[in-house]
């Protein structure tokens, strides 16, 4: 089997490494490539690009744009309005979303109860739709989605936010919000700009739990500041791994046992510890 990740800038991506470890641990003969594709090439050559591999992951900025190049969309991806996994069904491509599953497993890993609690999401791009949908399903009483330019948010996103009963606001509103959970979906703080933070450190005090779905670096400045303030924190690595494993299940047409998932996760975490201790 040959699979690939389609994105615009993939220099920071761990996806190839994660899938190769997973394939090895499962005894699967498969390859995984990174395809940096320009917006123009995706628009003009989308169909031919999709003829090269047996399965695909899709990352920013193409999780919505890819919809015009596929034949079928699954129910969960239709609700979310974004696709991050393509599965071949005969001669057709089906779009699925495994970000939802990955984020749900991340929440499970930190043992957080969000029923009747408020949550704040920073950013409207990338995996924000899957995260917002998951938070709604977890029973959040209110979900605030913060954008630097709310007036520039497109009609599709506005319709999605209304569907999930999420409230769009700007960063000025952030200082008056208090919630159980803060989730950063923006790339602010991602390698190589590790020193940056999407918010001022004083705002962190308004939240009990802080999640940054960035996974490179393993601890962003946002998470380090939150930890200093005694907050429960989590990065996006667990989400990344579980969404990758769910994609493999779709490609291979079989489930990966939970014990095997844990074995793969431990292997990845151990290798990362070695890398970051060098």
Q: Which tens digits make up the pLDDT trace of 224-239?
A: 999 999 999 999 999 9
Q: Is the pLDDT of residue 276 over 70?
A: no
What pLDDT was estimated at residue 191?
84
Convert the pLDDT of each residue in 159-218 to its tens digit.
999 999 999 999 999 999 999 999 999 999 998 899 999 999 999 999 999 999 998 888
What pLDDT was estimated at residue 270?
87
* Residue set of the binding site for NADP(+): 75, 213, 236
Q: Is the pLDDT of residue 80 over 80?
A: yes
- Residue 11: band (very low, low, confident or very high) from pLDDT cuts 50, 70, 90: confident
Q: Region 228-254: what's the mean pLDDT?
A: 97
Q: Region 64-88: what's the mean pLDDT?
A: 96
- Residue 272: band (very low, low, confident or very high) from pLDDT cuts 50, 70, 90: confident
- Residue 25: band (very low, low, confident or very high) from pLDDT cuts 50, 70, 90: very high
**Rounded to whole angstroms, what are the CA distances from 117 to 105, 132, 147, 204?**
18, 14, 21, 17
- Residue 273: band (very low, low, confident or very high) from pLDDT cuts 50, 70, 90: confident
Residue of 28, 3, 27 whose CA lies nearest to 15: 3
Catalytic residue numbers read 63
Residue of 41, 88, 34 whose CA lies nearest to 58: 34
Contact between residue 13 and residue 260 where contact means Cβ atoms under 8 Å apart? no
* Residue set of the binding site for shikimate: 13-15, 59, 84, 99, 215, 243
Q: pTM of the full predicted structure? A: 0.94
Instruction: Report the mean per-residue pLDDT for the chain.
Output: 95
- Residue 12: band (very low, low, confident or very high) from pLDDT cuts 50, 70, 90: confident
Q: Region 227-256: what's the mean pLDDT?
A: 97
* Residue set of the binding site: 13-15, 59, 75, 84, 99, 213, 215, 236, 243
Q: Region 129-136: what's the mean pLDDT?
A: 98
Q: Region 133-150: what's the mean pLDDT?
A: 97
Domains along the chain? 2-97+238-277 (3.40.50.10860), 101-235 (3.40.50.720)
**Helix residue ranges, H only, 164-230:** 171-174, 221-228
Q: Is the pLDDT of residue 57 over 90?
A: yes
d(CA 112, CA 181): 9
């Amino acid at each position: 089997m040959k699979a690939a990740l389609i994105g615009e800038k993939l220099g920071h991506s761990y996806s190839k490494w994660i899938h190769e470890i997973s394939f090895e641990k499962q005894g699967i003969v498969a390859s995984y490539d990174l395809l940096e594709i320009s917006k123009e090439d995706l628009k003009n050559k989308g169909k031919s690009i999709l003829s090269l591999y047996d399965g695909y992951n899709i990352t920013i900025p193409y999780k919505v744009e890819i919809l015009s190049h596929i034949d079928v969309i699954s129910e969960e991806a239709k609700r979310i309005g974004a696709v991050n996994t393509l599965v071949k069904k005969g001669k057709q491509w089906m779009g699925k979303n495994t970000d939802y599953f990955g984020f749900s497993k991340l929440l499970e890993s930190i043992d957080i109860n969000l029923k009747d609690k408020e949550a704040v999401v920073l950013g409207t791009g990338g995996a924000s739709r899957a995260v917002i949908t998951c938070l709604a399903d977890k029973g959040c009483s209110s979900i605030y989605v913060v954008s630097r330019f709310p007036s520039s948010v497109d009609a599709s996103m506005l319709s999605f936010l209304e569907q999930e009963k999420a409230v769009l606001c700007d960063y000025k509103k952030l200082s008056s919000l208090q919630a159980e959970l803060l989730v950063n979906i923006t790339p602010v703080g991602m390698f190589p700009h590790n020193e940056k933070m999407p918010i001022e450190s004083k705002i962190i005090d308004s939240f009990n739990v802080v999640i940054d779905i960035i996974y490179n670096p393993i601890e962003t400045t946002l998470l380090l500041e939150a930890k200093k303030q005694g907050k429960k924190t989590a990065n996006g690595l667990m989400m990344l791994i579980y969404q990758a494993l769910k994609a493999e299940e779709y490609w291979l047409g079989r489930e990966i046992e939970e014990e095997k998932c844990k074995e793969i996760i431990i292997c990845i975490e151990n290798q990362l510890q070695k890398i970051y201790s060098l």
